[in-house]
Amino acid sequence: MTTLPMNGVATRPPTLTRAWAPDLATDRLYALLKLRVEVFVVEQALFYPELDGFDLLASTRHFWLERDGEVIGTVRLLEESEGHSSTFRLGHLCTRRSDRGHGHTTRLLQAALADVGEAPCRIDSPSYLVDMYLAHGFVQCGDEKIDNGVPLVPLIRNQTNQR
């Protein structure tokens, strides 16, 4: 499907890609980190340790949307162990400002949740995005807290709140 932006020039829809951290090419990792810094640190003025070590863990999965070689959106999926079962944590979900409003965030979220399946999945959502996550089967699982000046709400999605 080809879309027509406001300038009337046809563009192809972005390609969705998923890679495990060990399979992620250096230039792709750089592009993902660059977008996250552009959105969270520069645009939203959130000062936090972006290079937290989780991006390179063998169990980490990265999803991104790319158009014409440029990353326009990304999300990171961490696998965490709780006893003998796995749980997951979503984080760093963002879309480049100029590409917002086209469903890219939803597409990334759905792709990551497809990998999660019925396993529990957590996210600490900014308060203003909670409704989006609720629409994808998440429920609140704790009190709002402030992290780096941002009100965050802990959410979880699992098979018990999917029924």
Per-residue pLDDT in tens (0 to 9) along the chain, 163 residues: 445 555 555 577 899 999 999 999 999 999 999 999 998 877 777 777 778 889 999 999 999 999 988 999 999 999 987 667 889 999 899 999 988 989 899 999 999 999 999 999 999 998 989 999 999 999 999 999 998 788 899 999 986 655 5
- Please give the CATH number for the structural domain made up of 15-120: 3.40.630.30
| CA–CA gap between residue 156 and residue 134 (Å, rounded) | 9
Query: Cβ(72)–Cβ(66) under 8 Å?
Result: yes
Q: What is the pLDDT of residue 159?
A: 64
Q: Is 122 helix (H, G, I), strand (E, B) or coil?
A: strand
What is residue 108's predicted lDDT score, i.e. its pLDDT?
A: 96
Q: Would you kindly state where each structural domain of the chain is located, as residue ranges?
A: 15-120
